[in-house]
Amino acid sequence: MAWRLICDRGQQVWKYLKNENSTEIYFDKQNLNSADKVYRENAIQLNYKPLNIDESQYDKLKIPIFNEQLSSSAVKSTLNAINYYKSLQVEDGHWPGDYAGPMFLLPGAIITGYITKFDFTEEEKYQMIKYLFNHQLSDGGWGTHIESRSTMFGTVLNYISLRLLGISFNDQRIKNAYKFIQREGGAMYAPSWAKFWLCVLGVMPWEGVNSLFPELWLLPQWLPFHPSRYWCHCRMVYLPMSYIYGEKIVGEISPLIKQLRNELYIDKYEYIDFTKYRNSISPLDLYSPQTILLKMLNFFTNSYEHIYNRQLRNKASEFLISYIEAEDEHTNYIDIGPVNKFLNMLSVWHSKGRQSKQFELHLNRVNDYLWLSEDGMKIQGYNGSQLWDTVFSIQAILETGLAHLYTNSLNLAYYYLDISQVLEDVKDNIKYNRHISKGGWPFSTRDHGWPITDCTAEGIKTTLLLHEQIFNCPRRITSDRLEYAIHFILSTQNKDGGWASYELQRSGSWIEWLNPAEVFKDIMVDYSYVECTSACVQALLKFRLEIHFPNHRRKEIDIAIDRGIKFIKKNQRKDGSWYGSWAVCFTYGTWFAIEGLIAAGESTESNTIKKAVEFLLSKQNFDGGWGESYLSCVYKSYIDHKQSQVVNTAWAVLSLMSAKADSIAIRKGIQFIINKQCSNGDWNQQSISGVFNGNCMISYTNYRNIFPIWALGRFIKNNYIQQ
């Protein structure tokens, strides 16, 4: 194949190698769900050797031998699984994988490319077109993510993208999409984030959106609704949006743009009063409706927009652009996510020019977001999930008790941990409302650099777990680096005892009343989450162990753990479960909660654990597996998937094993995982397993390997000890 993934210290770039033997990349119509065949088959060709361990070697290799059948199959399955999975690891130590899924990200890249006149290569464009058509649904529309039904958010943006990529209005597929948009009343019924892109592109006048009131950023920071208090993702998206809105940036009105103006609406463009539709949104998209309070505020800011003072606006714009540039520099032009990446790029193009150094630097980092799978080329939800997948992979392999067989792989993974820890705070962190960073671990790469509470926690846990093993690799992650990491964790605990994702919660949850994004929930501030809290508690527990750092800041750590545990307990639902905010869903949240509680010494006989176990047992399917629909996340109540999912099953079985629950249920779960394994050691990709902001799903391709390995590993270990 001609496409190759080139990795360098976590940075992932897909290159099209012209001279390489090329075969057309196939795609599997049955499964457009990021099965990652392109990357995986490349890696397998290079690294995979079928497993050649047979039972006669077990003794010599210190592999447990069981007479009992299920344990013995679990050992074989585990060896096969790791043998496959280790061939996917790259030289810098991480495990690459598809981290896409949202369907509103590629349009941002394509629209920015069109306006600023940077071009993707022909091969990239071909793959992008393939991707967009592959994900078109039978009603002509596109969803907000790859498993969603059609929404205006997905349809309007992807329609425009295909047209900008050169697909003609006469193409039947485009016509179907056109009809969908017309049926839903036209593009004025798209949500505000889509309308924003329409305005920049020049296919909607700026009167079509509510004011983003750029001067808000100049108000005093003590105000509880000041943007410096928003969740960092919300803050970093509304920052360039405010600049672009304030300056009313619009790309060149080309003949194609004029044509699009005629395609997107029912009435003639010139006759539409767009101000009337600012708050219109299709019922297909409505998830978090605008509140009356927000509507009232919009009334004031929209009125202000008629009379604003130019000098003050200039001041606001200057402030915003300097803030945008700071974010660019802090993240090496990757930016915190794919939304602000392209918005920042547009802002820099406008303020510094197409030929500027800054724009060039931005261009160099566009490809960090691209990913190629058999369904085509997409923009990922982040610049990858490198660190996150690596820390879990290490823990899964260690759990098997077979680490001695995989020292190369583990040493490499340790190297990735080493090079990705953030070792200094960002420049002018106070000025730019950045929490400290030193000691933290990011979700993806060091270059990205935004540290995250649970990534840091998992970083600490895995470093210490690896230090407990005797490998001949130098312990480069020194005590002081771990102490800084602990400092980061201690500094991010919220008043409610829990941990949020990146920073402290900076304002009350009432601020959600001002959430302008109708398609996402809970984006305004960084709330405490059970997953982040459990991870941080586990890291603190591990750190204070006798064999590690029992005396370092002991009192503070003890108190932090207690408060964290209380938070977890308080958030248990009546049915015994916990809601998971970052993956699907109750099996994920409950797994984190149980791990945290048990690690902290909660008795398996306690009511909390018993209720959690009861909950899990009540959801097991006849085939032994668990399967949760992504709609669990959306509606915040458990919704069964049509089929059991290996990933949900692994989380449930891991939890039950920690809780020392009914062994028949565990055995049935393990048997399910084994039955589902492919002969090469992989598992098939099933439904999408990650989520954010309640309503958008995101792929974690490696979960299908990591969590089964982890569950099988724990099963072997438990049975080994029992024997």
Residue 109 CB, nearest distance to ligand LAN (Å)? Answer: 13
CA dihedral 267, 272, 278, 283 (to 10 degrees): -10
Contact yes or no for 692/582 (Cβ under 8 A) = yes
Could you say whether residue 235 binds ligand LAN (CB under 6 A)? no
Q: Which is nearer to ligand LAN, 189 or 692 (CB)?
A: 692
Contact yes or no for 578/586 (Cβ under 8 A) = yes
Within 684-713, the residues that bind ligand LAN by CB under 6 A are 692-693, 698
Q: Which two tokens stand for residue 619?
A: 């959801």
Stretch that binds ligand LAN, among 15-23, 151-159, 346-354, 447-455 (CB under 6 A): 447-455
Instruction: Select from 114, 349, 415, 443 the one that contacts ligand LAN (CB under 6 A).
Output: 443
Contact yes or no for 443/388 (Cβ under 8 A) = yes
- The SS3 of residue 125 is helix
- Quickly list DSSP for 13-79: EEEE-TTS---PPP--TT--S---HHHHHHHHHHH-------GGGTTTTT----SSHHHHHHHHHHH
Instruction: Select from 101, 214, 381, 694 the one that contacts ligand LAN (CB under 6 A).
Output: 381
Give the DSSP H/E element, type plus range, for residue 371.
strand 370-373
Q: Which is nearer to ligand LAN, 84 or 591 (CB)?
A: 591
Q: Which is nearer to ligand LAN, 27 or 243 (CB)?
A: 243
Could you say whether residue 595 binds ligand LAN (CB under 6 A)? no
Is 454 marked active-site?
Answer: yes
Give the DSSP H/E element, type plus range, for residue 377.
strand 376-379
Q: Between β-strands 696-698 and 690-692, what pairing exists: parallel, antiparallel or unpaired?
A: antiparallel
Closest to 228 measured CA to CA, from 371, 494, 432: 432
- The SS3 of residue 145 is strand
Within 528-567, the residues that bind ligand LAN by CB under 6 A are 531-532
Q: Which residues pair with 377 in a beta bridge?
A: 372
Could you say whether residue 135 binds ligand LAN (CB under 6 A)? no
Instruction: Select from 85, 95, 582, 626 the one that contacts ligand LAN (CB under 6 A).
Output: 582
Could you say whether residue 596 binds ligand LAN (CB under 6 A)? no
Using CB under 6 A, count the residues that bind ligand LAN: 19
Instruction: Select from 76, 86, 233, 446 the one that contacts ligand LAN (CB under 6 A).
Output: 233
Report the greatest alpha carbon distance in the chain. Answer: 84
Residue 100 CB, nearest distance to ligand LAN (Å)? Answer: 10
In angstroms, the CA 585 to CA 562 distance is: 25
Residue 163: CB atoms within 10 A of its CB come to 24
Residue from 335, 418, 454, 526 carrying the catalytic annotation: 454
Residue 337 CB, nearest distance to ligand LAN (Å)? Answer: 4
Structure-token match 């305004």, residue found:
524
Q: Which residues pair with 451 in a beta bridge?
A: 442
Instruction: Select from 152, 174, 237, 674 the one that contacts ligand LAN (CB under 6 A).
Output: 237
Could you say whether residue 232 binds ligand LAN (CB under 6 A)? no
Closest to 710 measured CA to CA, from 466, 393, 459: 393
Residue 421 CB, nearest distance to ligand LAN (Å)? Answer: 15
Q: Which is nearer to ligand LAN, 612 or 698 (CB)?
A: 698
CA dihedral 489, 490, 495, 499 (to 10 degrees): 20
Could you say whether residue 108 binds ligand LAN (CB under 6 A)? no
Contact yes or no for 665/652 (Cβ under 8 A) = no
Residue 77 CB, nearest distance to ligand LAN (Å)? Answer: 27
Contact yes or no for 460/489 (Cβ under 8 A) = yes
Q: Which is nearer to ligand LAN, 127 or 340 (CB)?
A: 340
Q: Which is nearer to ligand LAN, 236 or 249 (CB)?
A: 236
Within 307-326, the residues that bind ligand LAN by CB under 6 A are none
Could you say whether residue 455 binds ligand LAN (CB under 6 A)? yes
Structure-token match 């409505």, residue found:
286
Could you say whether residue 624 binds ligand LAN (CB under 6 A)? no
Instruction: Select from 382, 406, 416, 567 the one that contacts ligand LAN (CB under 6 A).
Output: 382
Stretch that binds ligand LAN, among 84-92, 288-296, 414-422, 452-460 (CB under 6 A): 452-460
Stretch that binds ligand LAN, among 16-24, 362-370, 451-459, 559-567 (CB under 6 A): 451-459
Q: Which is nearer to ligand LAN, 339 or 634 (CB)?
A: 339
Residue 237 CB, nearest distance to ligand LAN (Å)? Answer: 5
Residue 381 CB, nearest distance to ligand LAN (Å)? Answer: 4
Could you say whether residue 485 binds ligand LAN (CB under 6 A)? no
Structure-token match 């209380």, residue found:
566
Could you say whether residue 337 binds ligand LAN (CB under 6 A)? yes
- The SS3 of residue 375 is coil
Could you say whether residue 342 binds ligand LAN (CB under 6 A)? no
Q: Which is nearer to ligand LAN, 596 or 681 (CB)?
A: 596
Residue 532 CB, nearest distance to ligand LAN (Å)? Answer: 6
| 548: DSSP letter | S
Long-range own/partner contacts, residues 307-316 (CB < 8 A, 24 or more apart): 308/215, 312/215, 312/218, 313/214, 313/215, 313/246, 315/218, 316/214, 316/215, 316/217, 316/218, 316/242, 316/246
Could you say whether residue 227 binds ligand LAN (CB under 6 A)? no
E strand spans, 453-605: none
Residue 521 CB, nearest distance to ligand LAN (Å)? Answer: 10
Q: Which is nearer to ligand LAN, 95 or 520 (CB)?
A: 520
Residue 255: CB atoms within 10 A of its CB come to 7
Residue 222 CB, nearest distance to ligand LAN (Å)? Answer: 26
CA dihedral 313, 319, 320, 321 (to 10 degrees): 110
Could you say whether residue 501 binds ligand LAN (CB under 6 A)? yes
Closest to 655 measured CA to CA, from 595, 571, 718: 595
Residue 716 CB, nearest distance to ligand LAN (Å)? Answer: 27
Could you say whether residue 84 binds ligand LAN (CB under 6 A)? no
Q: Which residues pair with 372 in a beta bridge?
A: 377
Could you say whether residue 515 binds ligand LAN (CB under 6 A)? no
Which positions are catalytic? Answer: 454
Binding site for ligand LAN (CB under 6 A): 233, 237, 337, 339, 381-382, 388, 443, 452, 454-455, 501, 520, 531-532, 582, 692-693, 698
